[in-house]
Structure 1
């Protein structure tokens, strides 16, 4: 697991955590922090060079090597991270995994799955603001592997130790990148201190 401890990431996350932060401000902060996290999750992408002409001279200039990325959002809250990352990586292919958490069992229920056909050839970055129990995240990665994905990274804003442990147990080959490892889950399966339900706070639905 990697914790993105950049001061701007931590500052913006604090603003998002505050209960009084309005929906519009929450969305804007999520867009901003997602771009900062995008730098962290793509830090070690493969590079090559190609010849270009600058206004001064020719040079061998660095460019990304190989196929572009695939960004996969776990609906619905993942779209907040997705939007900001697409501004930084506009050529990425995009996929969606629709899951909701059964509030009684805390287990994920699938309702949608659509990913790029060539996902096996791409580095896949799965985005979801919260890694709580880890059940939904692990289920989404199960589906992606069944679709052929072999290079997967998981990016979230806030993680609970229980979710990190679940991911390490079920998908030890998938790195987790987060802005914060919080204390624990409460009886309702919410991260403490966390920031509440990210989807509800993004869309003003509670």
Structure 2
């Protein structure tokens, strides 16, 4: 992937995102739509995975058929909201290895604080896809990507539902080698660091918490 930011403008992605943005959408519907939209976004972010061939037997004859190359992908959920995207992507790539980065945002400084970290082995040999629905200030995302790099990851991609220009700029400054795939680039952040017009707090809407 060459572009730093890819906005997936597929009609199904945009339609589902509009329903998710509406404040009247229920938790159950929000969760289901997040699962569906994550698969469509995953289709885009995995477009250029390394390929090879292997000999197989069809019912008709032998052939060399295309197959994924290298070690299994690593999907890294940035807790807790990342789990909503993770579930959908895992349905598409069930053999992927899974890791978790636990970060929360200090409400006063807006800086990330780490509380959990568990990732698959041999990240240096895997395509690593980090998932988090919201790329807002970009501080937590940049910190999570740095932790993955510190663990050896070299080929990292970032998947989010919504991005703010501030978050994209922060990620590009900190990790220009990490492409971002998102469903929408919104207007910006409000004084509390929330994406506008956004969809509120993705974790709260997904899990029904306030």
TM-score normalized with structure 1 length: 0.99
CA RMSD of aligned residues (A): 0.6
Q: Tell me which residue corresponds to 1:125.
A: 129
Shift of 1:22: 0.2
Aligned mate of 1:172, from 159, 172, 176 = 176
Q: Tell me which residue corresponds to 1:77.
A: 81
State the alpha-carbon separation in 2 of the partners of residues 81 and 3 from structure 1: 16
Q: Could you tell me whether the CA contact under 8 Å between 2:76 and 2:128 is conserved in 1? A: yes
State the alpha-carbon separation in 2 of the partners of residues 163 and 79 from structure 1: 20
State the alpha-carbon separation in 1 of the partners of residues 180 and 41 from structure 2: 12
Q: Which runs of 4+ in 1 moved over 3 A?
A: none
Aligned mate of 1:15, from 11, 14, 19 = 19
Deviations 1:101-143 (A, max 9, x none): 1111111110000001211111100000000000000000111
State the alpha-carbon separation in 2 of the partners of residues 146 and 68 from structure 1: 20
Q: Which blocks of at least 5 consecutive residues in structure 2 are unaligned?
A: none
| 3-state SS, counterpart of residue 183 of structure 2 | strand
Aligned mate of 1:147, from 141, 145, 151 = 151
Shift of 1:166: 0.2
State the alpha-carbon separation in 2 of the partners of residues 170 and 117 from structure 1: 24
Equivalent residues in 2 for 1:5-154 (5 A)?
A: 5-154=9-158
State the alpha-carbon separation in 2 of the partners of residues 48 and 120 from structure 1: 19
Q: Which blocks of at least 5 consecutive residues in structure 1 are unaligned?
A: none
Q: Tell me which residue corresponds to 2:164.
A: 160
Deviations 1:64-88 (A, max 9, x none): 1111100000000000000010011
Q: Tell me which residue corresponds to 2:203.
A: 199
Paired positions, count: 206
Structure 1 window deviating more from structure 2 (51-60 vs 165-174): it is 51-60
Shift of 1:50: 1.0
Q: Could you tell me whether the CA contact under 8 Å between 2:70 and 2:125 is conserved in 1? A: no
State the alpha-carbon separation in 2 of the partners of residues 182 and 137 from structure 1: 17
